[in-house]
Chains A and B, each alone.
Chain A
């Protein structure tokens, strides 16, 4: 017997595996590729169990409804891919012609650059302008699908291609989570601070408590990710006045060209009080993170908070469910909004309000690939998922913010409601690659107090002056290529212009040509003006 096992076990296992493989192939073929089954693949990088389960629930319901409606079988398969391999997967499958029908649009150049988007993804403006048939009998009956989203889908509008290429399921905002019990114990009351100054006092009290009691407690759990969250919320508020001074084209942003031009016109430099104050404020807040926070990962920070070693943590609504679950009954979690220094004696000169969340939206954006043979079913599925009932059910299951009007937030998410009062716009001075690397690299030294804001500014100014012209031209070259790429799309429409017999199709082509001509005109005007400005101001 022993001899028999040692002689044939390997072969038996091999045969078993082969039989199993063949059986699996046959099973898959019968289930997914049988002639009477239409298969739709949908890929994403959300590996959270709750997400997959919630999406599967929608899929199961849709498959049943589709069968009842059309008498045809349909199978929607989720393809969850890890975050690290996602870019590779999306890029290679799209280029190789084997892309899934629907993909979560993120992390890949192909999903981001206008020329690729136009080439590989289905424009959705026409479908979004029609009512969602699954809304029949509801308050949204007859309402264009686009208008059923909280933000009218403004966050998903592609300003280069002048069209929509994605449909989101959720939206996200960021807030401060805090340990209610520990807060009360240290501060002696439940009331939260109302101003930035009061927040600093709270943090000082927490530090004092830790020093006195010898307990390893810090005001905020920090990591580079947390620091960036503070940066996202605070820096634009300081840059706002500078932004408006340099925003020559009134699009809300002071881009690299405008920042360079304004620098040459001596409207600002790297010792500008707006910049110095912003960096000072960031550095001030980072003093309340734990020692060595620069080396900590996002998970380390979350772990500190969950273990009660920090009173607060900055994070997004996407973390609500996992943080609250991990804390369990250990303590009560509270959530409140960031307090920007509008009343601070120095900072208030520049900080006029917080960053607006009016255009919040666009989380979990789904795009349909042009390669899909079942575009209509894909659109129908996305419509099914974005009814008020289904969107609420999906987001409740994973404790995320729904994106369809009329959906109610669960109690825990109420503090995450987007705040429409505030300003938009960015001030981008990272004009060259060296500038980007240095600004990013030195920022950790700045926030952790190793260098002063003035030193940081001096270093950046030296690089800005030395690499500015080269960076300006590189950026211009890139934008000219982007503009040229829009022309590649326009040519394709000009080729089909006036062809075909259906009046509706002809009109749609013309409408797209007008949009693309508008984009081409905008790019050409901007790039011409940038060239002209460079010639005028270069040394």
Chain B
């Protein structure tokens, strides 16, 4: 019996040592769990790291941000956790002057403010605007400021007030002028294009800005036939037949097996144009 006990004790010791040897850096584990969107787990782990780190240190800031994001985004959406997330974002902002993590915390807190997550939760768009404004002012030239500019414009453009919409459009156009190669420029043009067609009933301007977006490159993996089909339809409504024809043709020739290809042929015929031949990607399978 004594030998059995000894054996188990040694086994336990071995297991403890082997698991100790394999232990990863706790913050790396937190990062991994955040990347997996495993927010319930990352919250617990981030809390542990945060408690062991010195307030204001890089490790503390990173773990606090991970904890704030985890509480902000974990489900179910519980009021107390969301409120704590906001406080944590604020703590980071207060303790990270001139560090890029401050802008990240501001951006996430701004998103948080305009979202509604639990019963009786209210969207605080004014606070979001203020925070986006701070990022733009305090972090000029940063990629985070480009993101803030896009989100800020959305707050204005998603409005029933025409003046607000135009304010958002002008702000965005100024931004693109200042930072034409910013990461989100094509999204900014698309935001404007949509507003012109849907809210301001101006298909001509809508097409103009969609084409600008295309010129600088649409977001990766955009479904091009949907984009071409949309441009062609709006252009046709706006009486820009040349553009409509060009984009109906692009649906047929540029996108393999688009569901809109056959209909584009019909639209072209209706416009008096001989359409390009339909590309049948399956034809060779029966040759």
Interface residues of A (CB under 8 A from B): 118-119, 125, 150-152, 154, 157, 159, 162-164, 249-252, 352-353, 356, 358-359, 370, 402, 405-409, 414, 417-418, 420-424, 484, 487-489, 491-492, 494-499, 510-511, 513-515, 517-518, 521, 524-525, 528-529, 532
Chain B, 224-270, CB within 8 A of any chain A CB: 226, 229-230, 233-234, 255-263, 266
**Complex CA–CA separation, A409 to B144 (angstroms):** 52
Chain B, 107-136, CB within 8 A of any chain A CB: 107-108, 111, 115, 117
**Complex CA–CA separation, A414 to B108 (angstroms):** 54
Q: Which residues of B contact A524 (CB under 8 A)?
A: 154, 158
CB distance from B247 to the nearest CB of A (A): 11
Contact with A along B37-77 (1 / 0, CB 8 A): 11100000000000000000000000001100100110100
Q: Are B286 and A409 in contact (CB under 8 A)?
A: yes
Q: Which residues of B contact A358 (CB under 8 A)?
A: 257-259, 261-262
Any A CB within 8 A of the CB of B223: yes
22 A-B pairs in the complex with CB atoms less than 8 angstroms apart: A150-B281, A151-B256, A152-B281, A154-B257, A163-B221, A250-B230, A252-B229, A356-B262, A358-B261, A359-B259, A370-B36, A420-B279, A422-B262, A424-B260, A424-B263, A489-B37, A496-B31, A496-B34, A496-B35, A513-B183, A521-B154, A529-B198
Q: Are A414 and B286 in contact (CB under 8 A)?
A: yes
Q: Which residues of B contact A487 (CB under 8 A)?
A: 73, 111, 115
Q: Are A491 and B69 in contact (CB under 8 A)?
A: yes
CB distance from B15 to the nearest CB of A (A): 17
Q: Are A151 and B285 in contact (CB under 8 A)?
A: no
Q: Which residues of A contact B230 (CB under 8 A)?
A: 249-251
Q: Are A517 and B257 in contact (CB under 8 A)?
A: no
B side interface size, CB within 8 A: 63
**Complex CA–CA separation, A407 to B221 (angstroms):** 26
Any A CB within 8 A of the CB of B94: no
Known: A358-B257, A420-B257, A524-B158. A495 touches B69 (CB 8 A): yes
| For the complex of A and B, 7 pairs with smallest distance between CB atoms | A424-B259, A528-B158, A119-B37, A488-B73, A518-B219, A358-B257, A151-B257
Residue from A152, A154, A418, A484 in contact with B115 in the complex, judged by beta carbons closer than 8 Å:
A484
Q: Which residues of A contact B34 (CB under 8 A)?
A: 492, 495-496
CB distance from A43 to the nearest CB of B (A): 20
Q: Are A423 and B262 in contact (CB under 8 A)?
A: yes
Residue from B160, B219, B221, B263 in contact with A423 in the complex, judged by beta carbons closer than 8 Å:
B263
Q: Which residues of A contact B282 (CB under 8 A)?
A: 150, 417-418, 420
